[in-house]
Amino acid sequence: MLTYEEFELTDMQNSYYLSRYDKNAPVKCCHSYFEFVQEKEINIEKLSQAWARLFDRHEMLRISIANGKQKICYESKYDKITIFDMSNKQITDAYNELEQIRAYTEGRLLNIEKGQVVALSACLMPDKQTFFLFDIDMICCDIQSALYLLHDFAAINLDEKLPAIPNDWSFRDWIKNINSNKISHSEYWHKKSSCMPGGPRLPHSNKIRTSKFENWNFSIDYRQWENLILAGEKRDCNINILILTIYIKVIAKWSEEKEFLVNIPVFTQPFEETHVIGDFSNMIIIKVNSSLAEKEMIDDVKTQYYDGLEHQPYSGIDFLRKINANTKSSISAPIVYSFHIVPALVDEKIRKTLGNLSYFINQTPKVWIDFQVYSTIDSYIFAWIHQKDFLDKSFLTDSFNQFRGEILAMSKLGGSFMNNTTVSNIIQEIYMRLLKVDTLDTKQSFLQLGGQSIMAAKLQMECAKVFSVRLTFKEIYDNSSVDKLADIVISKMN
């Protein structure tokens, strides 16, 4: 493939690149995976054309990265949609194969040296549904850019005209400009580096660390979101600072250290109207003082956050390096807070093109908990993404439940984490809707009640959407009564 000249990686890109070659790092790359299910008929030829045009539009989809440098290629051999046609298979066999494809795709290491930084797979199922699996190595772009990428793909597929990207713009030149702006902001961060703690000391498990991550999440509707905005206004802060403070308070309850660092990714798109793809990320590092009362903590977080934004051209990674140089230690900030409500994770265009979001997961080197807030067409998602089997399970469960409870209470729901009765009632409603009955025995199996394998597939999807758990077909068939399946769902949620 023909290429341009090599150029430097950003500090964030370089951090991800080095993780690939760190023998002691269980997580080798920053990788995001999104799964959509489309129940409507698709035009795979048109989708394939839109996907190829996306690579033509965004140069960072055509990069290859090797030897610590990146270069943009004129073309990419990875601009094709991978199609898994399982439409003629038995439904159970097809969904078992889908589970294997998912397991491989959601945590894989893309071949960035050869130019593979993003991929889209279409799984055609016997029940006329299509599962779209989108995964991307975040070394090519930040998460906000990845979301804009999905929006652009949907717009192209729907024959909408996108604003032209300026001919004189390139990510290579952007890096040069951002590097030239670092020096003027370095003094602010250098002053702070002499008095910084490390990450919180949280309960760990005794299990061997793995590269697997889990996503525990819940959502609220737009009415509840408005209530959270009002709750923030009463405390003289916006909703972003409010949620961040609640998150900090929950983590602080479990930390052995009263002071610790929190990592807040921020993103700066070069243009307002035209969205380009690249690593425009940085991270603001704030120092938490958990001994402060709520009002003082909100004011302290707000001040540090906005000061950090003002001086964010300076690299947060350089800041951590400066701390470690001063203290001769290995301080990190493994607790992450991300606020991604623009652009929406799912809007009407994405829904028309790819369908409904059914699952997503992110994995990032050196991160323990990656808390994220997303917006969709009809809800806001709070995702508690964490490294599996690293932190203590009781801590994870209790801290997630406490955070969820506080958010729901503040949004005037007054709810708490789902219990067995709640889960059982919801599963019973799903059964009755799928079976089209008004009543059923919760101890009878799904098959005894008249369920078929195609309904089991829909049951699997419903449980993923409502409870954010992934059930295998074996788990559904072996525990196919409402009561037994509720126990399985609860065990996975906890």
Tell me the DSSP string of 123-149.
EE-TTS-EEEEEEEETTSS-HHHHHHH
| Integer angstrom CA distances of residue 167 from 57, 163, 171, 272 | 11, 12, 12, 16
The tens-digit pLDDT sequence of the chain (494 residues) is 445 789 999 999 999 999 999 988 888 999 999 999 999 999 999 999 999 999 999 999 999 999 999 999 999 999 999 999 999 999 999 999 999 999 999 989 999 999 999 999 999 999 999 999 999 999 999 999 999 999 999 999 999 999 999 988 999 999 988 777 777 787 888 788 777 888 899 998 876 666 789 999 999 989 899 999 999 999 999 999 999 999 999 999 999 999 999 999 999 899 888 899 999 999 999 999 999 999 999 999 999 999 999 988 788 888 888 778 777 777 789 999 999 999 999 999 999 999 999 999 999 999 999 999 999 998 999 999 999 889 998 899 899 988 988 898 888 743 334 566 767 888 888 888 888 888 888 888 877 777 776 778 888 888 876 676 788 888 888 888 888 988 888 887 65
- pLDDT for position 107: 86
- pLDDT for position 440: 81
- pLDDT for position 3: 54
| Euclidean distance between CA atoms 150 and 26, whole angstroms | 29
| Euclidean distance between CA atoms 314 and 150, whole angstroms | 29
Of 317, 276, 3, give the one whose Cα is nearest residue 145. Answer: 276
All structural domains of the chain, each given as residue ranges with its CATH number in brackets, are: 7-157 (3.30.559.10), 185-410 (3.30.559.30), 420-493 (1.10.1200.10)
Question: For 58-77, what is each residue's pLDDT tens digit?
Answer: 999 999 999 999 999 999 99
The alpha-carbon radius of gyration of the chain (Å, integer) is 23
Locate the DSSP E strands across 221-364. 259-267, 281-289, 335-340, 356-363
Tell me the DSSP string of 161-215.
PPPPPPTT--HHHHHHHHHHHSHHHHHHHHHHGGG---S----B-SSPP-S-EEE
Full-model pTM = 0.85
Question: For 75-126, what is each residue's pLDDT tens digit?
Answer: 999 999 999 999 999 999 999 999 999 999 998 999 999 999 999 999 999 9
| Euclidean distance between CA atoms 67 and 48, whole angstroms | 32
| Euclidean distance between CA atoms 227 and 221, whole angstroms | 10
Are the C-beta atoms of residues 182 and 313 closer than 8 Å to each other? yes
- pLDDT for position 178: 79
The size of the chain, in residues, is 494
Phi, psi values for residue 406, rounded to 5°: -70, -40
- b/e sequence 163-186, b meaning 16+ C-beta within 10 Å: eebeeeebbbebbeebeeeeeeeb
| Euclidean distance between CA atoms 88 and 273, whole angstroms | 44
> Alpha-carbon torsion 398, 474, 356, 486, what sign?
negative
Tell me the DSSP string of 58-70.
-GGGGEEEETTEE
Locate the DSSP E strands across 16-138. 31-38, 63-66, 69-72, 82-85, 118-124, 130-137
- pLDDT for position 420: 67
Amino acid 92 reads: T
| Euclidean distance between CA atoms 190 and 183, whole angstroms | 11
Of 15, 32, 47, give the one whose Cα is nearest residue 117. Answer: 32
